[in-house]
Structure 1
Amino acid sequence: MQKFITLGEGYGDLFELEALVAHNQTRIDKAIFLHTEEKLSTFLLVMQPVRGNFQAIYAIYNGIRYNAGGGRKYMMIREWCETADIPVVEFSTRDPEDFYERGQFYQYITGVLRLNHLIPPL
């Protein structure tokens, strides 16, 4: 079972993410940037499954400005991942605003990640 855990709002999300990367390097599986056309990107930090089938996926939901590889938050996160030897995957997805609720977006992303073999099936 994969569980999305949305990190804080504003700059709180960045501080939480930095602490996760610094103190849980052995548990981190991969980092994923989900880009949309000319809008904010979403970032996912996928952890290794624990206790059988539970897998935490930490998210900065629709909060990263990505300008053709630029953007301060984007660059900081990339640097943290590279320093910690965390593999980074990037691809384009539907806009989160296409969905009525955040949970629906996370269900859609779960399907996309499973189809691309980025997270294990149930």
Structure 2
Amino acid sequence: MIQRFIELGEGYSDIYEWLELLKTNEHRFHRVCILTSVSNDVKKLSVALILKPVDESKFTPIYFCREGIEYSAVKTSKRIQLVEKTLQERNYSPHRLEVKHSSYFAEPALYHQYLIGLFRLHHILPPLS
């Protein structure tokens, strides 16, 4: 089984594409994750949409908007409100994880491997077959 991240962007306007992928692929929906990371004392959010493989395919796509949404305990970002509202309308509950910031890793592929390991550890992704 191949589990791969497809980065859409940092979630500024890309969040609308991410939401559309969620809405149009409900028949393939597996999980949604909201990830929190900290860099230079600034908390950032990422969102990940995990879809089931198509038919006999062994490919599990993870659509990802990485660290573009600032987190504030005082005022919730309109983008994260939109994500949470859309999930609530569909009766989906996101998995929330605190993760290392991507700047800790030399390249995005290593960060993606780290996240896939965490997703497997928390049973968000199925084990490799």
TM-score of the aligned structures, taking structure 1 as reference length: 0.89
List structure 1 runs of 4+ shifted beyond 3 angstroms: 8-12
2:65, 2:9 → 1: CA distance? 8
1:61, 1:24 → 2: CA distance? 20
1:83, 1:7 → 2: CA distance? 23
Residues 76-91 of structure 1 correspond to what in structure 2 (within 5 A)? 76-91=82-97
1:113, 1:14 → 2: CA distance? 21
Larger radius of gyration: 2
CA deviation string 1:44-66 (max 9, x = no partner): 00111232421010000111222
1:64, 1:103 → 2: CA distance? 21
CA deviation string 1:14-40 (max 9, x = no partner): 221121122111211111011013321
Q: Which residue of 2 aligns with 1:55?
A: 60
Amino acid at match of 1:25: E
Tell me, what secondary structure is at the counterpart of 2:61?
Answer: strand
1:58, 1:10 → 2: CA distance? 11
Tell me, what secondary structure is at the counterpart of 1:100?
Answer: coil
Task: Please tell me whether the aligned partners of residues 65 and 73 of structure 1 are also in contact (alpha carbons under 8 angstroms).
Answer: no
Task: Please tell me whether the aligned partners of residues 32 and 93 of structure 2 are also in contact (alpha carbons under 8 angstroms).
Answer: yes
Structure 1 unaligned blocks of 5 or more: none
Instruction: Give the aligned CA root-mean-square deviation in angstroms.
Output: 1.7
Task: Please tell me whether the aligned partners of residues 12 and 69 of structure 2 are also in contact (alpha carbons under 8 angstroms).
Answer: no
Number of aligned residue pairs: 122
TM-score of the aligned structures, taking structure 2 as reference length: 0.85
Task: Please tell me whether the aligned partners of residues 7 and 63 of structure 2 are also in contact (alpha carbons under 8 angstroms).
Answer: yes
